[in-house]
Structure formats: structure tokens, C-alpha cells
Structure 1
């Protein structure tokens, strides 16, 4: 996997977001339970990182290190442990969606999925985007205080 230019990164982020409702059936806006939506998207990101590490074993340590250094994981978010626990019901449910999705998409699409998420977690500003919930732009602001 190569490091992308910022215009290519932006295009990939737009593509990822435009396909999101098709992939996992977005759960709609997060007006009623923002904490739950944030946890869901963090768990989704963790699940994608698991699949990326499996798909790119030569880059596994780089992929895992990027996720572990993600600034979002340093925020005091209630329920974060559930999102990070591979054995939680939430992660298992997401793995049942993400695993088959990854198995059926071609290599270049896997690369788009993985690189887009790696770039998101490498952003020094806490950033959270995903396919499984529609988060408001300021979703992390209440935790960053």
C-alpha cells in the first residue's frame, strides 16, 4: 500500500462515504443516542482494521500501529472498551457484515477501504467517519473537552 496524495485521499473519502448506505445499511442519524453511534463507528473502524491486517499481512504491524495510535482512542468515550473488544456482541455483529463484504470486493477496493481508514486514524485531529451510522460533523467535540 502506498501513501496517497491529499487530492486522492479526499476522493477516496468521498467515495467511501457515498457508498456507505449500500454497504451496511446506515442506521440513520444519531440524534437520539450519539454515544451509541460513536461507539458503533469506532467498533466498525476496529473491525475494518482487523480485516485490513488479514488482507495485507506484510503491512499488519503498520496497520495495527496506526489504529493503536488513533487519537480518538485517547478520548474519554463511554463504552469504548466494548468497541475495542473483538468478542463483544457489537464487534461480532460487525464482523459478520465486514468479513463477507471484504471477501467479495476486488483487491483495489480493499486497498481503498484500508488506505482511507488508515489516513483517517493518522489525522492528528480526532476524526471519526464510518458506514454504519451517520454522525454529525462535531460528534467528537463533547469528548474532546
Structure 2
């Protein structure tokens, strides 16, 4: 199911947050970022342009909640930095590949098999509860 502003607002409600004007602004703004990645600071700057009452703490708290609910992805880059991207659908498990030259990020539906995950569990003595797999490489444009 595609993510809508109502899904984001419901996520805030489920986590005990009041639905304020700034949170409504964030929900609408996040939908507009689909397919684009951003830092929390960039999201806050975008929100401030629409509503000067949006607080920095509100944006940071909202991003963490949406990330915990798997509505936002945290994308790691080869240099150790990270950015966020709104998931296009709820409940859609995916990974990313990032171009190490231009920074382009693409969602990848490929994943580890159950056997591979079981092998990791056996190797390290953990019970895997979740995972995030990041690929890095060069996109077609950068390879030319």
C-alpha cells in the first residue's frame, strides 16, 4: 500500500504524539520527497519554509518514529554519512544500492535468503530480528 499523509499522521497518533500543524506540514512534505533522500536538517529547512513554527526537535522525533515503523529508510553512504528516504509502500522490505561517485540511490528488492540468515545466526550465535543490507557501486552514468 502506498504511503499517504494519513498513514504518517496515524503513525504519529499511534506513538502518542498530538497532531499539530507542524506535524501535518511534515506529513505532507514527506510525501513530496518520495524518490529523494534528505538529511534531517534538510527536512527541517524545507518544513520551516512552509511553517515557521516547525521545531527542530519535532522533526528529529518524527524522523525517528517513522524510521522505527519502517516508513522511512536510513541510507548509509560509503563515507559513513547517512540520509533518509520515505518508503514508497508500507510493509515493503527492500535494500538500497548507492553510487559511490554521484550518490544516486536505488531501491533493490534482492535480499538474503532464509538459509543465509540462518547461517549468520549460527555463525555468531545471535537470533536475527532484522537486517539492513547496503550495496555500493557505480551507476551506469558514472561508469561511462
Could you tell me the TM-score, scaled by structure 2's length? 0.30
Greater relative contact order (Cα < 8 A, sep 6+): 1
Point out the structure with the larger helix share. 1
